[in-house]
Amino acid sequence: MKKGSSGFTLIELMIVVAIIAIIASIAIPNLLAARISANEAAAIATLRSVSSAQAQVQAGSAIDEDADGAGEYGFFAELSGVVNVRGAAFPIAPPVLSGAFGNVQDVGGGEGGVSRSGFFFKMWLPDAAGVGIAELTTGGQAGGAVDPNMCEVIWSAYAWPINRGTSGNRSFFINQAGDIMQTQGGVQNYSGIGTAPGADAAFVAGSTANTINGTVAVNSVGMDGNTWTTVN
């Protein structure tokens, strides 16, 4: 180095690198926590929108497979107007959910759902025995798969992280009552396609397996062994 020139010594560079590492170790966890919080808030807001859409469709008899004048609840692709409603040759017009909810995909077990903001969402409608029937991976369901009379009064949906610990921590549930429930996991830690909640996950332990017309596990243990609490 020529006399009078300046530069960083190895020790100075090591100090700079160490400072950057310290700042990163503080900032990155905070950024991840903020992302998780934002995704969970978005999941809650989405479930509220779904609840409003279901109420609107049922009240307006936009779906009435048995033509008895009493409206029925629908699947995501039906609510978004992407597929024809059950028992009819036409879709809901105008749709009550964004067309993005028509992008139904396999969310586990060959059953359909949608993904938004780091979460999977899955809709369940009942058969005659109240057993939950999931949406097809192509959207909606074939006529007769669900019970029209039961679908006039019952539906439920779950939201869980696509990558637990990265895109979210909590899982959520809502049904026709309109109250959103949450679980932090513990026994069943839902994450991605491999560990989706079953239809009966948020219903009280001891309920009939796979049914969605039982008692919701409000501040108690569900069929999945997790404790479910109300989202304030």
Amino acid of residue 221: V
pLDDT digits (tens, 9 = 90+) for 137-180: 999 998 789 999 999 999 999 999 999 999 999 999 999 999 99
Does 222 map to a domain?
A: yes
How far apart CA 103 and CA 14 sit, in angstroms, is 50
Give the angle subtended at the CA of 156 by the CAs of 186 and 163, to the nearest 5°.
40
- Report which secondary-structure segment, H or E, holds 26: helix 10-59
Mean pLDDT value across residues 41-68 = 97
More confident: 44 or 31: 44
The gap from C-alpha 112 to its chain's centroid, in whole angstroms, comes to 12
pLDDT tier at 42, thresholds 50, 70, 90: very high
Does 38 map to a domain?
A: yes
How far apart CA 174 and CA 123 sit, in angstroms, is 10
The two structure tokens encoding residue 28: 């990155």
Domain extent for 184: 11-230
Does 6 map to a domain?
A: no
Inform me whether the pLDDT recorded for 24 exceeds 70. Answer: no
The two structure tokens encoding residue 93: 């017009």
The two structure tokens encoding residue 131: 């057993």
Predicted structure pTM score: 0.87
More confident: 18 or 200: 200
Does 4 map to a domain?
A: no
Of 16-20, 52-56, 65-69, the least confident: 16-20
Helices (H), the chain: 10-59, 76-79
Q: Mean pLDDT score of the chain, rounded to an integer?
A: 92
How far apart CA 139 and CA 123 sit, in angstroms, is 11
Structure confidence at residue 80 (pLDDT): 98
Contact 98, 114 (CB under 8 A): no
Does 1 map to a domain?
A: no
Contact 65, 86 (CB under 8 A): yes
At a CB cut-off of 8 Å and minimum separation 6, what does 133 contact?
124, 125, 126, 127, 141, 145, 146
The two structure tokens encoding residue 108: 């586990």
Q: What is the count of structural domains for the chain?
A: 1
